[in-house]
Amino acid sequence: MGVERTLVLLKPDAVARGLVGRITTRFEDAALKIVGVKMAHLDADFTRKHYFDLEERLGAEVYNTTAKFMQSGPVIALVLQGVDAVAKVRQVIGVTYPNLATPGTVRGDFAHQTKASSEASGKAVMNLVHASGNSDEANYEVDLWFGEGELFEYETLVEKFAY
């Protein structure tokens, strides 16, 4: 591919547990550049826009549980840029269910909930991070979360020496 941008949300559990710096460091260590950042509380309308197809794909119960969790506290939105950024971010964070995530990934190291425990408790899977699943989704999410003038261009040392 090439250089691309993607959206990452540090979910309410990441913020509440004080893992923002440690997670962000993982992305920077992977040569991903932060070009946009903001903290926000999601309201019902914005949550619906962000998860516009979740109910259709996985049902009302999954959507409602996810929406309630995402509105339970502040999130931090990051736009990351780099070579194959979408795939690289997904590699750094690990698979959706923390108990299946490889050690060394964000979810494998810091999240511990299983799908079964989530279903039994009726709570969303607290897996710390949302990341765009593909380039089209990334473009939609970056445009939804960040307006003109909120994304920045600059050169990092990694870009200067590695690209």
The percent helix, strand, coil of the chain (3-state, each to 5) is: 50, 20, 35
Query: Structure tokens of 64?
Result: 């409602």
Q: Is 41 an annotated catalytic residue?
A: no
Q: Nearest Cα to 107, choosing from 116, 115, 98?
A: 98
How many CB atoms within 10 Å of residue 126? Answer: 19
Q: β-strand 129-131 against 75-83: which pairing, if any?
A: unpaired
Query: Structure tokens of 155?
Result: 């050169």
Report, in angstroms and rounded to the nearest whole number, the Rg of the chain calculated over CA atoms: 16
Helix (H) or strand (E) holding 75: strand 75-83
- Enumerate the active-site residues: 130
